[in-house]
Amino acid sequence: MKIFHYTSAAPTHIDNDQAKGIDARVVIGRNDGADHFCMRIFEIAPGGYSPKHAHAWEHELFIHSGEGEAYDRGAWRPICPGTVLFIAPGEEHQIRNTGARKLVFACLIPSGVPEL
């Protein structure tokens, strides 16, 4: 069994022309022997956002803390602690932080695709 606080994993910082203010961590993945799916934890700073994109695999998200919005078929929908999102393969999506503190969520993907 592996038990740890997610903040003890080293983050990858992402700031580019498509994404802003992100610290991403792979917390359970292939290196742990997780053969079916992978857990990543994302922190998005106030004003930050993930890329608006689509890909061939699904996301399962759980919002832990903070406030934000998710892009879904042309509209922005509010997300808050306790919100669950299922983003099916091929669906365009983006997450942005509209609050004053970090937006933190778990985002899971199937094995066999890039972990980050």
* Nearest distance in Å: CB 47, a copy of itself: 22
* Nearest distance in Å: CB 41, a copy of itself: 7
* Rounded distance between C-alpha atoms, residue 89 and residue 13, angstroms: 25
Each residue of 87-97: b (16+ CB within 10 Å) or e?
A: beeeeebbbbb
* Nearest distance in Å: CB 6, a copy of itself: 5
User: Residue 82 or residue 114: which is nearer to a copy of itself going by CB?
Assistant: 82
Structure tokens at 92: 């365009």
CB 96 within 8 A of CB 105: no
User: Residue 47 or residue 112: which is nearer to a copy of itself going by CB?
Assistant: 112
- What does the binding site for a copy of itself look like in residue numbers (CB under 8 A)? 1-7, 27-28, 32-37, 39, 41, 58, 60, 62, 64, 70, 72-73, 77, 79-88, 91, 93, 106, 108, 110-111
* Nearest distance in Å: CB 113, a copy of itself: 10
* Rounded distance between C-alpha atoms, residue 63 and residue 21, angstroms: 17
User: Residue 47 or residue 81: which is nearer to a copy of itself going by CB?
Assistant: 81
| CA-closest candidate to residue 22, choices 85, 104, 81, 82 | 104
Query: How many residues in the chain?
Result: 116
